[in-house]
Amino acid sequence: MGTGPAIADGHADLILTEIVDSAGHRFLVKAGSERGSELLAEVTTTPASAKDIDVANAAVEQAGKAQVRSIDNSGIKEMLYQNFEHPRWD
């Protein structure tokens, strides 16, 4: 559906990438919107190192290569609109 694994700025408030390596388990977080920047300003964070950024970028790239399934999304918008009031949404 063209949604990832990388998320472009403006498509999410906070963009998190999980990092698990010899240095431990942590999340790299990036503000993807003004609201995300506001939220990050309210919490204590540690600036990401260049190595962490490289590791996170490599993880996202690897995740993209591992995604081999696809979904035929032709007509999906119309199908969702036709089923907007479907009981399943309850």
Indicate if the pLDDT at residue 73 is higher than 80: yes
Please say whether the dihedral angle defined by the alpha carbons of residues 49, 50, 53 and 59, taken in this order, is positive or negative: negative
CA dist., res. 32 & res. 39, Å (int): 11
Confidence band of 6 (pLDDT split at 50, 70, 90): confident
Per-residue model confidence (pLDDT) at position 89: 85
84/5 Cα distance (integer angstroms): 27
pLDDT for the residue 3: 67
Convert the pLDDT of each residue in 19-66 to its tens digit: 988 888 999 999 999 999 999 999 999 999 999 999 999 999 998 888
Q: Which pLDDT does position 21 carry in this prediction?
A: 85
Domain parsing of the chain, residue ranges? 14-89
